[in-house]
Chains A and B, each alone.
Chain A
Amino acid sequence: MKKLLNKIGLFGSVAILLIVACSFISGTWILTYRLVENDSLVWYDDFYYGSVDLNDEENWEDHVEHIKDINMIGLEIWGINNTGTNQEYNVYIDGAGSSLNGSSTRSEVEEDATLVIENLPLNTGGPQFISYGQSLGHVRNVDKIKDLLEAGEMKFFAYSNISDTTNIHIDSLNIVITFTAGY
Chain B
Amino acid sequence: MKKTLIWVILILLTVPAIQAGSVNWGVGASGGIEFPIVQQDQKQGTVFGFKAKLGLIPALAIEPNLYFIKFGDPELEDLVESDLEGAKLNAYGIDAILGSGFGGAGFKPYGLLGIGSYKFKHDQSGVESTNFGWSVGFGIEIGVTPKVGLDFRGRTIVVSTEGGGSRKSAAVTGGINFYPGI
In the complex the two chains form, what is the Cα distance from A127 to B58 in whole Å? 70
Which one of A11, A19, A30, A174 lies within 8 Å of B41 (CB-CB)? A30
Closest to A10 in B: B111
Are A132 and B156 within 8 A (Cβ)?
no
Say how far A63's CB is from chain B's closest CB, in angstroms: 11
Are B127 and A26 within 8 A (Cβ)?
no
In the complex the two chains form, what is the Cα distance from A71 to B110 in whole Å? 37
Which stretch in A36-44, A46-54, A100-108, A175-183 binds the other chain? A175-183
| Interface flag for A72 (CB, 8 Å) | yes
Residues of A within 8 A of B164 (CB): 68, 182
Which one of B37, B109, B138, B163 lies within 8 Å of A15 (CB-CB)? B138
Are A4 and B99 within 8 A (Cβ)?
yes
Are A15 and B38 within 8 A (Cβ)?
no
On whether A68 and B165 interact (CB within 8 A), knowing A32-B79, A132-B81, the answer reads: yes
Residues of B within 8 A of A14 (CB): 136
Which of B113, B125, B170 has most A Cβ within 10 Å? B125
Residues of B within 8 A of A28 (CB): 38-42, 165, 167
Are A19 and B170 within 8 A (Cβ)?
yes
Chain B proximity mask over A126-145: 1 for CB below 8 Å, otherwise 0: 00010111101101001000
In the complex the two chains form, what is the Cα distance from A161 to B10 in whole Å? 58
Are A19 and B110 within 8 A (Cβ)?
no
Which of B99, B112, B124 has most A Cβ within 10 Å? B124
Are B39 and A7 within 8 A (Cβ)?
no
In the complex the two chains form, what is the Cα distance from A128 to B113 in whole Å? 51
Residues of B within 8 A of A136 (CB): 84, 124-125
Say how far A77's CB is from chain B's closest CB, in angstroms: 10
Are A176 and B162 within 8 A (Cβ)?
no
In the complex the two chains form, what is the Cα distance from A26 to B136 in whole Å? 17
In the complex the two chains form, what is the Cα distance from A180 to B37 in whole Å? 12
Are A23 and B156 within 8 A (Cβ)?
no
Say how far B34's CB is from chain A's closest CB, in angstroms: 13
Closest to A16 in B: B156
Are A181 and B165 within 8 A (Cβ)?
yes
Residues of A within 8 A of B41 (CB): 28, 30, 71-72, 178
Are A68 and B113 within 8 A (Cβ)?
no
In the complex the two chains form, what is the Cα distance from A68 to B162 in whole Å? 7
Are B137 and A8 within 8 A (Cβ)?
no
Are A7 and B99 within 8 A (Cβ)?
yes
On whether A15 and B99 interact (CB within 8 A), knowing A27-B37, A28-B40, A133-B85, the answer reads: no
In the complex the two chains form, what is the Cα distance from A72 to B112 in whole Å? 34
Residues of A within 8 A of B81 (CB): 76, 129, 131-133
Are A26 and B38 within 8 A (Cβ)?
yes
Are A11 and B113 within 8 A (Cβ)?
yes
Chain B residues with a Cβ under 8 A of chain A: 37-42, 59, 76, 78-85, 98-99, 109-113, 124-127, 136-138, 154-156, 158, 161-168, 170
Q: List 7 A-B contacts (CB under 8 A).
A: A15-B137, A15-B155, A18-B156, A19-B170, A22-B38, A30-B76, A178-B40
